[in-house]
Amino acid sequence: MHRGAGYLSQLSTDLYEQSRATVAEFLDLREDDQVVFTRRPPTR
């Protein structure tokens, strides 16, 4: 996800992508798996 060209936008994008990597490592996902953040958990 790219948020813009400014310094804070780039920092935000880097931190967001780093959080994806952290979650993927924690869940022991394969390299071709994806981490998707959603607003709220799915309902039944």
Helices (H), 1-44: 7-26
Contacts of 16 (CB under 8 A, 6+ apart): 1, 3
pLDDT digits (tens, 9 = 90+) for 7-39: 998 898 899 899 999 999 999 999 899 988 888
Q: Say what the pLDDT of residue 36 is.
A: 87
- pLDDT higher than threshold 90 for residue 43: no
Q: Say what the pLDDT of residue 2 is.
A: 58
Say what the pTM is: 0.67
